[in-house]
Amino acid sequence: MKTESFFLLKLQAPDRIGLLASITNLIAKHQGNLVEVQQYTSTLDKVFFGRLAFEISGLDKIEELKKNISLLAQEIEAQWTLRDQSVPLKTILLVSKTNHCLADLLWRWRSQELNIAIQSVISNHEDLRSEVEREGLPFHYFPIPQEAALKEQALQQMAAMIRRESAELLVMCRYMQVLPAWLCEEYKNRIINIHHSLLPAFVGADPYRQAYNRGVKLIGATCHYATEQLDAGPIIHQEMLRIEHFHSLNDIRRLGRDCEKLALARGIRFHADDRVLVYDGRSIVFGD
Amino acid sequence: MKTESFFLLKLQAPDRIGLLASITNLIAKHQGNLVEVQQYTSTLDKVFFGRLAFEISGLDKIEELKKNISLLAQEIEAQWTLRDQSVPLKTILLVSKTNHCLADLLWRWRSQELNIAIQSVISNHEDLRSEVEREGLPFHYFPIPQEAALKEQALQQMAAMIRRESAELLVMCRYMQVLPAWLCEEYKNRIINIHHSLLPAFVGADPYRQAYNRGVKLIGATCHYATEQLDAGPIIHQEMLRIEHFHSLNDIRRLGRDCEKLALARGIRFHADDRVLVYDGRSIVFGD
Amino acid sequence: MKTESFFLLKLQAPDRIGLLASITNLIAKHQGNLVEVQQYTSTLDKVFFGRLAFEISGLDKIEELKKNISLLAQEIEAQWTLRDQSVPLKTILLVSKTNHCLADLLWRWRSQELNIAIQSVISNHEDLRSEVEREGLPFHYFPIPQEAALKEQALQQMAAMIRRESAELLVMCRYMQVLPAWLCEEYKNRIINIHHSLLPAFVGADPYRQAYNRGVKLIGATCHYATEQLDAGPIIHQEMLRIEHFHSLNDIRRLGRDCEKLALARGIRFHADDRVLVYDGRSIVFGD
Amino acid sequence: MKTESFFLLKLQAPDRIGLLASITNLIAKHQGNLVEVQQYTSTLDKVFFGRLAFEISGLDKIEELKKNISLLAQEIEAQWTLRDQSVPLKTILLVSKTNHCLADLLWRWRSQELNIAIQSVISNHEDLRSEVEREGLPFHYFPIPQEAALKEQALQQMAAMIRRESAELLVMCRYMQVLPAWLCEEYKNRIINIHHSLLPAFVGADPYRQAYNRGVKLIGATCHYATEQLDAGPIIHQEMLRIEHFHSLNDIRRLGRDCEKLALARGIRFHADDRVLVYDGRSIVFGD
C-alpha cells in the first residue's frame, strides 16, 4: 500500500511580504517535504506565481493541508490548484487527416513520457480511425458541416461527449477546425493547439507557404492555448529550425513537422505537470 | 609579386541544359581552377543561380575571361558580377546612439573577419564620434531634421558624400532613420539593415516590447536588404534565442543584442563574399 | 508510362582543372538537365567531391551516359555511383529492446520521408516483434550468445540473411551489440549507427550517465557509420539540446531520445539521397 | 540617498523539512521582500540549493538579518554568502595574444551588462597593452619563463599582485598558461576559464584542430571553473554551433570565436550575479 504521494501546488496571488514563507510554513507544518519549488514574481504586475512539488504521507494529512491552503488562499487572494501527481490528466485528442502529431503523441503516451490518460480521439474525418483503434482507443467521428446551424449542432454534440468523458484537457493535433468561443471559454487554458509558425508571424491558413513566400531563414511551430481569437492565445512553447534557399515548400513542410511534434509534446508535458500559469495573455512556464 | 588571384563569379540566368557546363568550360579554358562551386536551380521559377570561386594566374587571362563571360552572359541572358576577392568592399556604416553592432563590426573588421574596407561612419548623433575616431576612421555627423524639405536636403547631402566615397555597401547598424525610396533604389541590394525581431513578426518600432507583450518564447534578429517598404526587404540571415517568462523587457533587450550582432555580422560577411543573390524578394545565400 | 527520371551521380576524384566541366558536359550531351549540383573541393587534400541530380528521358540515354561516365571516371580516377532516385534503398533495421528510434523510423518510412524500403527488422530480443509485425514487416529474431564461437556463428547466420535480402543499408536503431569487423568491412559506409552522445565525448556504455556525472550543459546524439572501432566511424549528423542542473539522469534520457530520433532520421535521409561521401574518416554531407 | 537595496543570498545545506520556510521566514521578519527565489533540491544527494534575491531598506536591518542568517546557517549546516548586488565583483582578466574575448568583455563591462569591476588586465605578452590601456585600465606584464623555478617565482609575484588588488574573480580570456594547483585552490570556484571545445571532448591543446580531424558536425566552447586538473573543472555554460564539411580549420576557428565570446560572457554574468553553486564537481546554475 502506497502511503507516500507527490503533490503539485500551483498558485498565483498579489505579491506581498512573507507570501512564500506562509506557503512553505503550511507545507512544513503538515510534514510535507518540498522537492521542487519554483517561484516567480512579476515586479511589473506585482503578482506572485509559484509551483511547489512536495511529498507527503497519509491521506488525512493531505485533506487537512488542502483545507488550510484554502483558508490561506482566501486570505492572500490566490488562485490555486492542488493535484496528486500520480493521477494523469484525462485527455482527448482532436485530429483531422494528418497524423504526425497524433503518432508522436501516441508513442509518448504509451512510453509514459506524458502525464496524461488519453480517453479517446475525436476527428472530423475517418482517415485516422485504424491508427487510433489499433492502440485500443475509441475513435469518435464528428463531421463538421459547413452550414452554420448544423455546424453549431455538431459542435454541441461533440462538447456533450467531451463533458461525458470528464476530459480535463483537449489537444488539437493539427485539427483543421476553429473551435467556437463558448467551448474555448468553457475549457479556458485547457485546450492546447499547435500552430505551424513562429507566432505571431504567419497567422491563419497555410503558414509554411507564407513563410516560403516571405523568404525567412528560420521556421518553427508554436504550442499555445486556444482562445476565441485565432492563433492569439497564450504561448506555451516554441520550436524552430533553420532553412535555406534550396528548401522547397514541401521540404519546409517536412522539416516543420519535426518542430510541430516537439513543440506540441513539450507544451502538453508542461501543462500536464502543472508547470504553466497564465496571466494577462502571457504564460509563466516553470519548464523541465 | 602576386601572380595568382582568387575571383568570384556570381550569376543568375534562365535555366537551360548545359548552363553550368558552359560556364565551367569557359573558366577551365582560361586555366582557372575552381575551388568552390555553388549552384542552385529553382525548378519552380526555372532560374539558375551560381557562385564560382576560382584561382587564376595572370592579369591578361582574367581580362580575356571577363570579355568571354560577358559574351556568354548576353547569350544566356545572365545577370552577373566578377570580383577580385582580394579587394575588400568599400563600406560605410550608419549609426545612431547604440554602439553594440558598431563595436562588434569594428572588431571584426580590424580582425579581418569581414571582407570589407570601412571608409567612414555616418551618424545622426554625435554620441559615437570618439568610439569611431579612435579607430582612425572619419566620423560624419548628419543630423536629420523633422521637417520634410530640410530632411530631404540633409539626406541629399548625405547621399552626395556616400557617392563621393564610392561606397559599394551601406550598413545600417541600428540606424534609427528610414532611408528614402530613391536611396534604397540607387543602392538596391547594397544597403544592409538589422531589425531586432524575427521578421515578419514585430515590424516597426520597439519590436522587443511587442515581443514581450505577446509573450513569445523565442526572440531574434533579422539581417535584410533595405527597401522602400519598412522591414520588408529580402532576408539574408536570422539569429534567434530562447527566452523565458522571467526575462524582463530589459533582459530581452540585452539578450537580443547578441542576436543582432551575430545576425548583422554574418549577413555582411555573406554579402561581402558575394554569397547572396536576390530573386523575387527572396535571397539565395550560399553560406559559409 | 514514365519516361522522365531523376538520377543521382555522386563522385570523388583527385582535383584537376576542368573536372566539373567534363562531368557537366557529359550530362548536357545526353540531354540531362541538372536540377541540383553540389561540389566541394578540399584544397587541403586536393580532392574533388560532387553530387549532381539531373533529369533525363529515355532508358537508352541513361545507359549510354552510364557507359560514358565509366570511361570518364577511369580517366580522372574517380570513385562514383549513379542511382535512379525512384528506387528506394533496400534497408534492414537492427533493434534491441528500446523502440523510440524504431517507431520514429517506421512512421517516417510509411510517410515517405525517407527514400528507403525497409525489408525487415532484426533483433536480438523478442520484445519489439508485435510492433514490427503490425506494420506488415518480417521480424527476424537472432539472439546473440555470450560465448565467442557461438556468437560468431549467430552473426554469420545473421549476415547470410542480410545478404539474401540484398540489403543495401543496415541501420542500428539503438542495437546494443557491436558488429564484427568483417561485417563492418563488408558493409563499409553502409551501416548507420546512432550513439547517444556528442561524439567523441562519452564513447562506450551509458553515455547519458557519463554526461550527467561530468555535469555538461549540452547533450546530444551522433549518427555515424559503424566501423570496427567503437563509436569512431565517420560522423554524418549530430543533434544537441541544452540541459540544466535540475535534469535528472532520467530526464536526460528522455530528452536525449528526441535528439537520437532526429539525428538518426536525418542521417539516414542524407545517406539514402546519396548526399554523403566519406574521405579519410570524415564525411562530406551535401545536406538538405 | 538610497535607502533600498537588493541583496543576494546564496546557500546550500543538507535537505530537511521546513528549510525554505525557515529562510523565507527570516527574510520576511526583517521586512525583506523576495523578488526572485530559485531553489533546487537534489533528491539524489539530499542537498538543498537556493538563491534568494530580495529588497530591504535600512542598513541596520541588513546587519541584523546577516547575524540571524549566520545563526540559522550554523543550525542547518549551510554554506552561504550574502551580497549587496550594487557592489560589482572585483575582477582581473588574464590574456595572452588573442583579443576576441577581451574585446567582447571590455565592451560588456563598459555597457554594464556584467556586474563586475575590472581592476586590471594581466598578460604574459605585451601584445594587448594598448587595447587595455586605452580603456583606462592598468596592464600588468608578467612573462612566464619556461624554467620551473623561475616560472614558480613569476607566478608567485603575479599572485601577490592579485591579492594586493583584492580580486574576487579571475577570468582567463584565452590565457594560454596553466595556473598552478595552489592558485586554483586559493581561488577555488573563483577562476573562470574558457575552453574552445564542448568539454569533455577535445581536452588540451588545439581543440579546433582535433574537432576538424575527427569530423564533428557541432563545435562549441565551454566556460568552467579552473581546477588543478586541466579542463576538468565544473562546467558553468556551453555554447555550440553547427559546422559543415566545407569549413576549413580557419573557418572553425573564426566561427568558434563567437561561441567562446558568448559562453565566457554568460558564464561570468551567472557567476557575478551569484547564480552558480558547485557541488561534487557539477554546477547548479540558476540562469537568467
Three-class secondary structure of residue D33 per DSSP: strand
pLDDT, tens only, D243-266: 999 999 999 999 999 999 999 999
Counting other chains too, the contacts that A166-170 makes at CB distance below 8 Å and 24 or more residues apart are A166/A90, A167/A90, A167/A91, A167/A92, A167/A119, A168/A89, A168/A90, A168/A91, A169/A89, A169/A90, A169/A91, A169/A92, A169/A116, A169/A268, A169/A271, A169/A272, A170/A91, A170/A92, A170/A93, A170/A94
Residue D9 has pLDDT above 90, yes or no: yes
Mean pLDDT across chain D: 95
Contacts of A20 in chain D (CB under 8 A): 20, 24, 34, 37
By C-alpha distance, the chain B residue nearest D245 is B288
Mean pLDDT of successive 10-residue stretches along chain A, which has 288 residues:
76 91 92 87 91 89 94 97 96 98 98 97 98 97 96 97 98 95 97 97 95 97 95 97 96 98 98 97 94
What does the alpha-carbon distance between residue C253 and residue C260 come to, in Å, rounded to a whole number? 10
Architecture per CATH, domain A4-84, reads as 2-Layer Sandwich (3.30)
Shortest Cα distance from B84 to chain D (angstroms)? Answer: 20
pLDDT, tens only, B22-55: 999 999 999 998 888 888 989 889 999 999 999 9
pLDDT, tens only, A41-56: 898 899 999 999 999 9
Nearest to A103 among C36, C107, C113 (CB): C107
Contacts of C39 in chain B (CB under 8 A): 34, 36-39
Nearest to B36 among C18, C35, C41 (CB): C41
Residues of chain A with CATH 3.30.70.260: 4-84
Cell numbers for D136: 583606462
Q: What proportion of chain D, given as a percentage, has pLDDT over 90?
A: 88
Shortest Cα distance from D191 to chain B (angstroms)? Answer: 24
By C-alpha distance, the chain D residue nearest A242 is D242
Confidence of residue C4 (pLDDT cuts 50, 70, 90): low
Nearest to C198 among D201, D235, D248 (CB): D201
By C-alpha distance, the chain C residue nearest D218 is C238
Nearest to D17 among A28, A40, A41 (CB): A28
Residues of chain A with CATH 3.40.50.170: 89-285
D6 and chain B in contact, CB less than 8 A: no
B200 and chain A in contact, CB less than 8 A: yes
A107 and chain C in contact, CB less than 8 A: yes
B111 and chain D in contact, CB less than 8 A: yes
Mean pLDDT across chain B: 95
pTM score of the predicted model: 0.96
Pairing of strands B169-173, B191-195: parallel
Does the interface predicted TM-score (ipTM) exceed 0.90?
Answer: yes
Chains that touch D (3 or more CB pairs under 8 A): A, B, C
Cell numbers for B132: 569611431
Residue D105 has pLDDT above 50, yes or no: yes
| Beta carbons within 8 Å of B186's beta carbon, 6+ residues apart | B159
What is the count of residue pairs from A and C with beta carbons less than 8 Å apart?
Answer: 23
- Lowest pLDDT segment from C54-68, C121-135, C158-172: C54-68
User: What per-residue confidence (pLDDT) applies to A25?
Assistant: 92
A141 and chain C in contact, CB less than 8 A: no
CATH number of D89-285: 3.40.50.170
Q: What proportion of chain B, given as a percentage, has pLDDT over 70?
A: 99
In a mutational test of the C interface, the residue from A35, A130, A258, A264 whose CB has the highest number of chain C CBs within 10 Å is: A258
By C-alpha distance, the chain B residue nearest A245 is B284
Q: Do C245 and D282 touch (CB under 8 A)?
A: yes
Contacts of C107 in chain A (CB under 8 A): 100, 103-104
Three-class secondary structure of residue D10 per DSSP: strand
D47 and chain A in contact, CB less than 8 A: no
Instruction: Write b or e for each residue in A57-79: b if 16 or more Cβ atoms lie within 10 A of its Cβ, otherwise e.
Output: eeeeebeebeeebeebbeebebe
A279 and chain B in contact, CB less than 8 A: no
Per annotation, catalytic residue among B15, B45, B231, B288: B231
pLDDT, tens only, A82-122: 999 999 999 999 999 999 999 999 999 999 999 999 999 99
How far out from the chain centre does Cα A38 lie? Answer: 19
> Cβ distance B32 to B55 under 8 Å?
yes
Q: What proportion of chain D, given as a percentage, has pLDDT over 70?
A: 99
| Tens of pLDDT, residue by residue, chain B (288 residues) | 345 689 999 999 999 888 988 999 999 999 998 888 888 989 889 999 999 999 998 888 899 999 999 999 999 999 999 999 999 999 999 999 999 999 999 999 999 999 999 999 999 999 999 999 999 999 999 999 999 999 999 999 999 999 999 999 999 999 989 999 999 999 999 999 999 999 999 999 999 999 999 999 999 999 999 999 989 999 999 999 999 999 999 999 999 999 999 999 999 999 999 999 999 999 999 988
C4 and chain B in contact, CB less than 8 A: no
> Cβ distance A96 to A177 under 8 Å?
yes
By C-alpha distance, the chain C residue nearest B29 is C18
